[in-house]
């Protein structure tokens, strides 16, 4: 258990459907990050929140993607009208704790794997 909880762990959907992923970060941190990892690639930054404010969005985040963090706690990532190219692992991260504490060290969740048929 990393302290960053993501669900669902797996989602299979048909092209054109909408999907939503949820992330519950380590509670004492106000920053939350979303990354995407496709097969054979390293994680790629998507977006980042400080409390409820979305402060940076990657160009990878097309108009079909929207992320929210109401009340600065959990976050959701919604993909509308999914395409096969959206198939990936969606990772949530927050600053680490303990020996890994510090703004520059991220603790990742187990991820939500999306398969678009």
Partner 1 sequence: AQSVSQHNHHVILSEAASLELGCNYSYGGTVNLFWYVQYPGQHLQLLLKYFSGDPLVKGIKGFEAEFIKSKFSFNLRKPSVQWSDTAEYFCAVKEGFQKLVFGTGTRLLVSP
Which one, of 20, 22, 21, 48, lies nearest residue 34 by Cα? 48
Tell the burial category of 33 from Cβ atoms under 10 Å away from its Cβ (0-12, 13-18, 19+).
buried
Site for partner 1 in 13-32 (CB under 8 A): 31
Q: Which of 77, 106, 114, 116 binds partner 1 (CB under 8 A)?
A: 106
Of 82 and 90, nearer to partner 1 (C-beta) is 90
> Cα(81)–Cα(91) distance, rounded to whole angstroms?
20
> Cα(109)–Cα(26) distance, rounded to whole angstroms?
10
Site for partner 1 in 33-72 (CB under 8 A): 33, 40-45, 48, 55-56
Q: Where are the alpha helices (DSSP H) in 1-117?
A: none
Of 40 and 70, nearer to partner 1 (C-beta) is 40
Instruction: Kindly write out the interface string for residues 83-102 of this chain, putting x where it contacts partner 1 by CB under 8 A and - elsewhere.
Output: --------x----x---x--
User: Using CB under 8 A as the criterion, which residues of the chain lie in contact with partner 1 when the complex forms?
Assistant: 2, 31, 33, 40-45, 48, 55-56, 91, 96, 100, 104-111
């Amino acid at each position: 258990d990393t302290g960053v909880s993501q669900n669902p762990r797996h989602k299979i959907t048909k092209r054109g459907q909408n999907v939503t992923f949820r992330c519950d970060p380590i509670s004492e941190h106000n920053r939350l990050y979303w990354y995407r990892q496709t097969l054979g690639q390293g994680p790629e930054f998507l977006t980042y929140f400080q409390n409820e404010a979305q402060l940076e969005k990657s160009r990878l985040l097309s108009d079909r993607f929207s992320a929210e963090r109401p009340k600065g706690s959990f976050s959701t990532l919604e993909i509308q009208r999914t395409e096969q190219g959206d198939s990936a692992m969606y990772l949530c991260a927050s600053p680490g704790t303990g020996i890994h504490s510090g703004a520059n060290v991220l603790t990742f969740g187990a991820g939500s794997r999306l398969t678009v048929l």
